[in-house]
Amino acid sequence: MVTFVDRVTLHLRAGKGGNGCVSVRREKFKPLAGPDGGNGGHGGDVVLVADPQVTTLLSYHHSPHRTAGNGGFGMGDNRSGAAGEGLDLAVPVGTVVKDADGETLVDMIEPGMRFVVAPGGLGGLGNAALANPKRKAPGFALLGTPGWEGDVLLELKTVADVALVGYPSAGKSSLIAAISAARPKIADYPFTTLHPNLGVVQAGDVRFTVADVPGLIEGASEGKGLGLEFLRHVERCTALVHVLDCATLEPGRDPLSDLDVILAELAAYPVPEGQVPLRERPQLVALNKVDVPEAKDLADLVRPDLEARGFRVFEISTVSHEGLRPLTFALGDVVAQHRTARAAEPAPERIVIRPKGAQKDFTVRVEGGTYGNIYRILGEKPVRWVHQTDFQNEEAVGYLADRLEKLGVEDELFRSGATPGATVVIGEGDGIVFDWQPSIASAAELMTAPRGTDPRLLQRTRRTTSERREKYHESMDAKAEARAQLEAERLAGSGWEEDEA
């Protein structure tokens, strides 16, 4: 039965935004008193919360699919839809969140830290919010956008001050049980420890945490045994304690050879950029099981060699508790010095968020197709606007066209070489496909004039009274002449009829 999980893939889906409402207020003697459709509610977010009370990702191993609530639909009488219920997921402190491509999104190293891993969709605006002096009674509303949906990888890296490393059955679990209140499983066979154990140690005024890591063997950095899988839990530790078994009965093993193997595996393990390599961190050596006479003699024999290599050596016994107090106080000093050095470091540079300025909200990518070029529009705004549009409503489609034109999409399509009737796609993948027909941006497109001239710039003068009188007399003379001509034709017609008679 699985009791500890430090790596899991979550399948998340944030809540969808609710649709806006199309409604018209009706009052007595006012059957059409104006739009009053409310906005849709926003979808719920999926939030990761670093909780010190959580020590494993086991619950997400059994239930990896998590979904937040959807937003409610808008209603008439300016009633907005309810916001979708958010989902808070508690994770252990020290959890690293990565996307599906393995890129690190956030490192949850502080208790209470919150990170919105899957933002919910936006609620659509109702027709009351879309009304303006030019569009007093919109017959459409915006749809809610879908929430984020995808996979994220959670990887737990234990946050501890000291890590106990060594061969299997070297006594690491017994040591952490002797110096703290932790009660790990202890047995006389290799790989008893299947997952890291944490214990809190009090050494004078210094309190620190100790992690018991599953045993390392030769080739652990290449995947042998359990060491490589759990070496990530050593990355955050300040100091390492090499627990060496002085009473081992295995042939070919002794404390010095065991230490060389462990150091080689630590040096082969890659740490993230910016961290101190495991091999270069403060290291102490604990010669364990000195309560056995033969082990005591072996410890006295190898101690000068270890000290000559620069290690601080402590002879201990987890059974009789011999040497445990000096070891814990030495670890407390190392941890205290590290904390003091970190406190003296300058504060991280303050993050200043500045406006994007003239940065474009979209791009046009030209792609070759079987029947000609395809012009793909990419950008947060155009894609969101498409999701918000009800394509069964012509007015809503027109509103989308106006928004895209104001954003400058048509000008960019012209610059990219698009012609009327070209295939345009908004968004990645299949997206929304349509045949582009450019709209008229201004009256200048309808004007025909010689090159270099603009009839709108010609000087216009007001007519004088004499000019208006002359124009009037000309029109009156033309009318009198027309009447005289009609009368002459009438008379001519009458005389022709008499002659026939």
Domain boundaries, the chain: 7-156, 162-344, 363-457
Q: Is 213 annotated as a binding residue?
A: yes
| Distance spanning both ends of the chain, measured CA to CA | 127
Q: Is 257 annotated as a binding residue?
A: no
Q: Is 308 annotated as a binding residue?
A: no
> Which of 198, 263, 185 shows the shortest CA–CA distance to 237?
198
Q: Is 269 annotated as a binding residue?
A: no
Residues in the chain: 501
Q: Tell the residue number behind the tokens 């620190």, with chain if given.
A: 208
Q: Is 195 annotated as a binding residue?
A: yes
What are the Cα distances from residue 89, in Å, to 63, 95, 149, 289? 12, 12, 16, 43
According to the CATH classification, is domain 162-344 in 3.40.50.10320?
no
Q: Is 56 annotated as a binding residue?
A: no
Q: Is 78 annotated as a binding residue?
A: no
Q: What is the CA radius of gyration of the chain?
A: 40
Alpha helices in 286-422 (DSSP H): 293-308, 324-344, 380-387, 394-407, 409-415
Q: Is 369 annotated as a binding residue?
A: no
Q: Is 318 annotated as a binding residue?
A: yes
What is the strand order of the sheet 46-50 is part of?
Answer: 87-91, 46-50, 114-118
Tell me, what's the pLDDT at 294? 85
Q: SS3 of 385, please?
A: helix
Q: Is 244 annotated as a binding residue?
A: no
Q: Are 94 and 57 in contact (CB under 8 A)?
A: no
Phi/psi of residue 158, nearest 5 degrees:
-60, 135
Q: Are 173 and 208 in contact (CB under 8 A)?
A: no
Q: Is 406 annotated as a binding residue?
A: no
Q: Is 173 annotated as a binding residue?
A: yes
Tell me, what's the pLDDT at 423? 86
Q: Is 416 annotated as a binding residue?
A: no
Q: Is 214 annotated as a binding residue?
A: yes
What are the Cα distances from residue 249, in Å, to 13, 254, 344, 450? 55, 9, 48, 104
Quickly name the fold that domain 7-156 has.
Spo0b-associated Gtp-binding Protein; Chain: A, (2.70.210)
Identity of the residue numbered 382: P
What is the strand order of the sheet 372-378 is part of?
Answer: 363-369, 372-378, 423-426, 432-435
Q: Is 212 annotated as a binding residue?
A: yes
Tell me, what's the pLDDT at 180? 81
Tell me, what's the pLDDT at 220? 46
This prediction's pTM: 0.69
For the stretch 440-494, pLDDT in tens is 554 444 444 555 555 545 555 667 788 888 888 898 999 899 888 888 888 887 6
Q: Which two tokens stand for residue 11?
A: 């399948």
Alpha helices in 248-349 (DSSP H): 255-268, 293-308, 324-344
Distance CA 187, CA 501 (A): 144
Which residues in the chain land under pLDDT 70?
Answer: 1-4, 182-195, 215-230, 347-360, 369-370, 439-462, 494-501
Q: Is 16 annotated as a binding residue?
A: no
Distance CA 225, CA 230 (A): 10
Strand pairing category for 65-67 and 7-13: parallel
Residue 297's Cβ-side half-sphere holds a number of Cα atoms within 13 Å equal to 2
Q: Are 153 and 99 in contact (CB under 8 A)?
A: yes
Tell me, what's the pLDDT at 215? 58
Tell me, what's the pLDDT at 189? 40
Strand pairing category for 95-98 and 149-156: antiparallel
Quickly name the fold that domain 363-457 has.
GMP Synthetase; Chain A, domain 3 (3.30.300)
Q: Is 159 annotated as a binding residue?
A: no
Q: Is 91 annotated as a binding residue?
A: no
- Return the bridge partners of 261, or none: none
